[in-house]
Structure 1
Amino acid sequence: MLLSLNGFTQNLGLKAYGKSDSETSTIKNLNYTAFHKNYKSVKLEVDSIQNALLKMGYIENELKFIKKINDSTVESLIHLKNKIDTIYIYHDKNEINTSKINQVSKIINDTCFAVKVSNLENTLNYLNAEISKKGFPFSNLKLSNIKKRDSISLKAFLKLNTSKQKRTIDHIIIKGYQKFPKAYLKHFLKIKPCQTFDLNHIKLKTEQLNNMNFARETKSPEVLFTKDSTSLYLYIEKTQSNTFDGFIGFGTNEDTNKLEFDGYLNLTLINNLNFGEAFRVLYKSDENDQRTFETNLTLPYLFNTPIGVELMLRLFKKDSSFTTANQSAKLHYQINSKNKALVGITSTESNNLRSENTASLVSDYTTFNYTLGYEFNSSRTLNLLFPFNSKLYTNIGFGKRKTSNAHENQTLASLDGFKIFNLNHKNSLYIRTYGEALISNNYYENELLRFGGINSIRGFEENSLYASLFGLINSEYRFQLSNTIYIHSIIDAAYFENKTTDTHEKLYGFGFGFGLLTKTGLFKLNYALGKTENENAKLSNSKIHLSFIANF
């Protein structure tokens, strides 16, 4: 008894072969499991081999024997017999759309189509799924009257079992976030009552909830079927979506050699009225005695349509030189959860505060532009440090600038986008490109584009660079030390032109930084050294930027 028990506890080796070398080779190519803990496991593996052979077309394969040769080896002889290559399936053309059959077969007529036996299971699953999408979730397909057509093919009749009543979504019940804005169901998720029921398609749509910044899906949707109705249950949770974003930068003034501070405050309130609205306030003060105040309001899905409105007001003051006020109103159309198209108008008014003659570098003017835009937002990721993988925004405006003695046609174009390339779960590469261009026959200083600082090219003072055209690339190699801490390099490059001073210059920024995710938000520190193409890098020109983004 002891010897017998010891034999059963040893691993058993399975050796499966056919009646000929070619059959044995076919069986070996299945890569079956050779070692097993007991005889029952061996028997199950032999059954698995036979099923695999059946799907390959050896429908008549026969197990000749399975026997234990010794305490550690089991042999199995399987006779493959004749291989069936093709099956011809006859069907009712009124039950299955011919266009769907064209996707799975090249041999087809009104009542019959042929497929490889090895593809039969996938073919039937595909056709059944297509029928289910039309509102028949309980449909099933099966083959009947299976017979040999010739030595290498079969013929069979396809039978469809389905309910006569087509299923549509009759009720949508939201669990959890009861005040979830209903317009987002219809236009963001594209789910609405009376829609043909397709559970797999619905699951793909509800996954888009995780792309929203004020709600998320807590579990997959569920369905309640009754005799005459279909109720869809969505499980949604409201998330913290308000953000507070700010930074402090400091560096040494090149002229006075004194330490100077700059910074900004960015407050965004999202969905506080359960409408999906967004309200943003920005205040920025920098080293060059410049002040910026900006406010934005976004109202989506007006009157339960896919159209929303975006309003913006920006005030800018440059010491005692000039002030500029920008206003814009845009209508956006939500194409789907990731894509948005925009059209609108923008007006600008700038006033010269200087009393002395400035050789026309600063002048009073007004502009009025018609704008077109496009926005793409990628899916959210599970990484809390980098919640978005990519984003793109582009805008172009056409209009006129008016001064006291002239009218000038102008074009303003901008592009801003980024992409994170994940090398593995800890290493990633961040690339961002950002550029703007003002096209005009002549320029004033107070209408030039302003850039520089933590949100453009790092290592330079905030908004210290004036350009009629600029383009830049930000890059970071990021390494995650944990789920809450990462370090990164800084390599930035930019090119700009200033037509008022006939300047063409290349800029570079180098440095490093880190990010720390806390319970209250994301803290970031950047150290960057900026230089122009024709100057040597000086540590005294370096900048340290601190920022903190809090969600509440």
Structure 2
Amino acid sequence: MQKASFLFLTIYIVLSSGLFCQNLHLKIDGNTEFETSTIDALNYLKNHKDYSSIKHEVDSVQKRLFKMGYIENRLNEIIKINDSSFKTQIHLKKKFSNIFIYYDKTTIKRRFLETISENIFDDYFELEFSKIETVLNFINSKISDEGLPFSKLRLFNIKVRDTSNLSANLVIESKEQKRVISNILIKGYEKFPRSYLKHYLKIKSSQVFDLTKIKNKTNQLNNLKFANEAKPPEVLFSKDSTILYLYLEKAKSNSFDGFLGFGTNEETSKLEFDGYLNLNLTNNLNFGESFKLLYKSDENDQKTFQTDLTLPYVFKSPIGIDLLLRIFKKDSSFTTVNQSLKLHYQINSKHKIYAGLLSTESNNLLTENTSLTISDYKTQYYSFAYEFIKPQSYNPLFLINSKLYLETNFGERKALNTQEKQSLFSIDAFKIFNLNRKNSIFLRLNSAYLNSNTYFENELLRFGGINSIRGFEENSLFSSLFSLINTEYRYQLNNSIYIHSIIDAAYFENKILNTKEKLFGYGFGFGILTQAGLFKFNYANGKSENQKFKLSNSKIHLSLIANF
């Protein structure tokens, strides 16, 4: 019984020890009821554990009153009422609402002030008193961005202007000249093509040092396929130099997808390849170059071979070169060879313009020309294009948020000793509307128009398939004009799996057959990001406007994009 009583007494003492701790109460009054209510509105801390905490809270309240404009407030001494209560009084006095700050317009640019004040004059600007600290920090950051990272601001000659306003002079203290970048050192990926620093990021030596802009620009490195920013940039300041350190890492930028099959042609006894191959090699020479190889042999006995070579910033200039060779063969009817040479200029990380030449040569392979619409011809175009790309590197499934590519071509066609003016226009654009973290809507517009007085079958535009209107065979549709819309509602299960709907619509015209038709494609699909790459599955059924739905018209499109 004694042990139980002793245990109970011990537990009681431990649990109720807080009752013996000192709990002090603070009350701050003003000189009038209005002043007291103003102080109470600050919601200051009233209960404290010791006198030091009370003193710290009173000082904090007084500083807050200073920032509100009560710069003449007077604090009386803290009085002890009893063992647990303390009180003091703060006489707020006059409140100053605004301050007129005089500045030197040769050192502070007016455009900085336009974002912080509505009343700006040649030698002063008006500001609410409560915003002084925020505004001075803002101005100081802007001056720092102008190459003076160690500058300081202060107000002096503070005077009472009238009953509710003050005036002061703004002074910039800096003991050094403007800082410029003296050297740029790359760590991690030392072979990173330095032309991208100058022309893509717009960062170079002898440039005025602005750390905020530098960080914004280096973030754009994550938009490149072949490099990432390992960590934010750092700066080493010395007496006579400013060295910028960039921390980069090389990324896997090569990709491959497709399948191949081969067999012997029974008529010619020659080996023939069927299938699809898409190879993309990027930055393997640490130049930022890109090489693409495409081979496609589809069920319509059509074969496509295409190579693209992009050389950016040739001879360290802002100009790049794009070369293309495309060979298309339609069974034993005709072949078409396209060649193009374009120069491009990267305006910034999102915008690019092109200009160049595009030539086409097509040959009739029919020994007996039973088709009057197939003929030998040559075309020569002057080509102009514009490209816009907005990435979203935070989503590994959908790395690009929006893209726009516009191309115009003007020239002439030569055939059978005749010449004819022609023009070719095309647009390819898409946009992802992110509704929330898991739901999004994908919209794509793809259109092309060949403008000519007469047409040959072997020069018509070809579309249809997984990268066009789904539910139709690859390149099975020929037209002089087409326009299609791809739509998908996407639901992202996690960071590596998504499912989506397929609703496609297209309109096309064929001037040779004098036909106009509407097409539709419906279906569903999914994508899985695996260690091998991004696997895509699409099931779609295609039909024309007046055609009934048939399950036999359904197509399955498979794609696996492997990065290495």
TM-score by length of structure 2 reads 0.87
Q: Match of 1:150, SS?
A: coil
What is residue 170 of structure 2 aligned with on the other side?
A: 158
| 1:485 counterpart letter in structure 2 | I
| 2:466 counterpart letter in structure 1 | I
Distance apart, 1:144 and its partner CA: 1.9
Distance 1:461 1:65, change over 3 A: farther
Distance 1:420 1:262, change over 3 A: farther
Bigger Rg, structure 1 or 2: 2
Distance apart, 1:59 and its partner CA: 3.5
Q: Is the 8 A contact 1:324 1:349 kept in 2?
A: yes
Distance 1:231 1:363, change over 3 A: same
Q: Match of 1:131, SS?
A: helix
- The match for 1:523 among 508, 511, 535 is 535
Distance 1:402 1:29, change over 3 A: farther
What is the rounded CA distance, in whole Å, between the counterparts of 2:324 and 2:124 in structure 1? Answer: 62
* 2:480 counterpart of 1:468: yes
* 2:347 counterpart of 1:344: no
What is residue 280 of structure 2 aligned with on the other side?
A: 268
What is residue 98 of structure 2 aligned with on the other side?
A: 86
Q: Is the 8 A contact 1:311 1:330 kept in 2?
A: yes
Distance apart, 1:460 and its partner CA: 0.7
What is residue 416 of structure 1 aligned with on the other side?
A: 428
- The match for 2:365 among 353, 360, 369 is 353
**RCO higher in structure (CA 8 A, sep ≥6):** 1
* 2:247 counterpart of 1:235: yes
Is there any run of 5+ residues in structure 1 with no aligned partner, and where? 250-260
- The match for 1:390 among 402, 419, 425 is 402
Distance 1:401 1:196, change over 3 A: same
Distance apart, 1:550 and its partner CA: 0.6
What is the rounded CA distance, in whole Å, between the counterparts of 1:366 and 1:549 in structure 2? Answer: 36
Is there any run of 5+ residues in structure 2 with no aligned partner, and where? 1-12, 262-272
What is residue 340 of structure 2 aligned with on the other side?
A: 328
What is the rounded CA distance, in whole Å, between the counterparts of 1:546 and 1:21 in structure 2? Answer: 78
Tell me whether 103-112 or 279-288 shows the greater mean CA deviation: 103-112
What is residue 253 of structure 1 aligned with on the other side?
A: none
Distance 1:99 1:476, change over 3 A: closer
Q: Match of 2:135, SS?
A: helix
What is residue 286 of structure 1 aligned with on the other side?
A: 298
Distance 1:325 1:148, change over 3 A: same
What is the rounded CA distance, in whole Å, between the counterparts of 2:197 and 2:375 in structure 1? Answer: 50
1:240-299 deviation digits (Å, cap 9, x = unpaired):
0001122699xxxxxxxxxxx984211000000000000000001111110000000000
- The match for 2:200 among 188, 192, 198 is 188
Report % sequence identity: 61
* Mapping of residues 347-496 of structure 1, within 5 Å: 347-496=359-508
Q: Match of 1:122, SS?
A: helix
What is the rounded CA distance, in whole Å, between the counterparts of 1:325 and 1:480 in structure 2? Answer: 41
What is residue 310 of structure 2 aligned with on the other side?
A: 298
Q: Is the 8 A contact 2:101 2:125 kept in 1?
A: yes
What is the rounded CA distance, in whole Å, between the counterparts of 1:174 and 1:399 in structure 2? Answer: 46
What is residue 148 of structure 2 aligned with on the other side?
A: 136
What is residue 246 of structure 1 aligned with on the other side?
A: 258
1:40-70 deviation digits (Å, cap 9, x = unpaired):
9898777666655544434445677999999
| Number of equivalenced pairs | 540
Tell me whether 337-346 or 262-271 shows the greater mean CA deviation: 262-271
Q: Is the 8 A contact 2:44 2:61 kept in 1?
A: no
What is the rounded CA distance, in whole Å, between the counterparts of 2:25 and 2:429 in structure 1? Answer: 58
Q: Match of 1:455, SS?
A: coil
What is the rounded CA distance, in whole Å, between the counterparts of 1:194 and 1:263 in structure 2? Answer: 53
* Mapping of residues 93-104 of structure 1, within 5 Å: 93-104=105-116
Q: Match of 1:130, SS?
A: helix
1:421-474 deviation digits (Å, cap 9, x = unpaired):
111111111111111111111111111100011001111111111111111111
Distance 1:462 1:12, change over 3 A: farther
Q: Match of 2:185, SS?
A: strand
| 1:115 counterpart letter in structure 2 | L
* Mapping of residues 87-126 of structure 1, within 5 Å: 87-126=99-138
| 2:301 counterpart letter in structure 1 | D
What is the rounded CA distance, in whole Å, between the counterparts of 1:526 and 1:437 in structure 2? Answer: 28
What is the rounded CA distance, in whole Å, between the counterparts of 1:12 and 1:475 in structure 2? Answer: 67
Tell me whether 157-166 or 456-465 shows the greater mean CA deviation: 157-166
Q: Is the 8 A contact 2:340 2:356 kept in 1?
A: yes
| 2:193 counterpart letter in structure 1 | P
What is the rounded CA distance, in whole Å, between the counterparts of 1:491 and 1:10 in structure 2? Answer: 73
Distance apart, 1:71 and its partner CA: 13
Distance 1:227 1:343, change over 3 A: same
What is residue 213 of structure 1 aligned with on the other side?
A: 225
| 2:404 counterpart letter in structure 1 | L
| 2:420 counterpart letter in structure 1 | E
What value does the CA root-mean-square deviation take over the aligned residues? Answer: 3.3
Q: Match of 2:206, SS?
A: coil
Tell me whether 328-337 or 113-122 shows the greater mean CA deviation: 113-122
What is the rounded CA distance, in whole Å, between the counterparts of 2:418 and 2:302 in structure 1? Answer: 28
* 2:129 counterpart of 1:146: no
Distance 1:146 1:531, change over 3 A: same
* 2:216 counterpart of 1:204: yes
What is the rounded CA distance, in whole Å, between the counterparts of 2:313 and 2:500 in structure 1? Answer: 39
Distance apart, 1:82 and its partner CA: 3.2
Q: Is the 8 A contact 1:247 1:548 kept in 2?
A: no
Distance 1:503 1:90, change over 3 A: same
Distance apart, 1:109 and its partner CA: 4.3
Q: Match of 2:531, SS?
A: coil
Q: Is the 8 A contact 2:280 2:293 kept in 1?
A: yes
Q: Is the 8 A contact 2:260 2:277 kept in 1?
A: no
What is the rounded CA distance, in whole Å, between the counterparts of 1:488 and 1:10 in structure 2? Answer: 65
Distance apart, 1:122 and its partner CA: 3.0
What is the rounded CA distance, in whole Å, between the counterparts of 1:532 and 1:468 in structure 2? Answer: 18
TM-score by length of structure 1 reads 0.89
Q: Is the 8 A contact 1:210 1:379 kept in 2?
A: no
1:347-373 deviation digits (Å, cap 9, x = unpaired):
000111123344521111110000100
What is residue 254 of structure 1 aligned with on the other side?
A: none
